[in-house]
Amino acid sequence: MTEVYLDNNATTQVAPEIIEAMMPFFEKLWGNPSSMHTFGGQVKKHVEQAREQVAALIGAEPSEIIFTSCGSESDNMALRGAADAAGGWPHIITTRVEHPAVLTPCRYLEKQGYRLTELEVDSLGRLDLDPLKTGLRDSAAIVSIMWANNETGVIFPIGEIAEIVKGAGSLLHTDAVQAVGKLPIDVSKTPVDMLSLSGHKLHAPKGVGALYVRKGTKVNPLIMGGHQERGRRAGTENVPYIVGLGRACELAAQNMEEEAIRVAAMRDRLEAGILKSCPDVRVNGDRQNRLPNTLNVSFEFIEGEAILLSLNELEVAASSGSACTSGSLEPSHVMRAMGVPFTAAHGSIRFSLSRYNTEKDIDYVLEHLPRVVARLREISPFVR
């Protein structure tokens, strides 16, 4: 059992309250919500209640929420579904630092004949909006820009971006997987057309997500073959998980502000402790405008995977900003886009906290991490 879990941007612990809410739908209420009989009908009302809970968290109408299997499906449905429905918008604009669930379908659509523009970020991971404005002058476009970056936590100005995109008569999707439940979001005031979210990033189980589609936005279904979700996403509803997602959104709405303050304080203490105790360390991303739970730091002259393996032996879970574990020798596309130096990019580590972390967790990491870094630097093949 991991003693200190600091990889919450990868996945979160399922909250006990959510497990409790889900259990009846495994044990007693296991009917098909699409069935016309009472056994199915009594389940359907819980699906609709969850839809209301998800909608309430982001300021949407319940009819604008489509349940999916995950954030990746939501991203794919938004991009490929909108492109399929639009037809006449051959230009797609995104950023170089998007999650692969956005970049991959964008590049797929490019191969199908769409023109693709990938916007740059600066050394702090901030987006320059001038190229977006320029790109939108050429033609109407489907724009996909994340609300907050999964590696650095940097928050993009989606409100300003939405005004620019809508002013140009274009369509805006935002991958808000890392932002929902951590930041206040109100789509009734921020005119995004589509928004993706994922249950397992806010203490619901893996295997459930949602796509917000503003009323009147044309998006063709990605999965066909049934009338579920008003014909927008076929397949029998995953009722226990949908109920869990609804409860997770309800809990997030109740505790967001208090949790953000407490978690950010722990994140900042971890950051200050690392900078004080470990030489040749840099913080990646805009420290003034990031998610309250996320810290990305680079330890120069060390491989990030070596740090992670050493931390794992100490029962500390974090993640690397490098793609080496997938067989690539290149650092992450986010670090490359930010221009992080080679010697630092390979040693980038992401610590991401949640409501279940404690001050003792931070104490434990700060006690052991400096020794790990010092030992690895002694045997590092990199030249200092």
- Active-site amino acid positions: 324
- Whether residue 54 contacts residue 258, with contact meaning beta carbons closer than 8 Å, is answered with no
Angstrom distance (rounded) from CA 339 to CA 348: 13
Amino acid at 164: I
Angstrom distance (rounded) from CA 151 to CA 164: 26
- Whether residue 212 contacts residue 185, with contact meaning beta carbons closer than 8 Å, is answered with no
The secondary structure of the chain in percent helix, strand, coil, rounded to multiples of 5, reads: 45, 15, 40
Strand partners, 141: 91
Of 54, 144, 19, 161, which is closest to residue 91 (Cα–Cα)? 144
| Pairing status of strand 209-213 against strand 65-68 | antiparallel
Of 15, 20, 32, which is closest to residue 238 (Cα–Cα)? 32
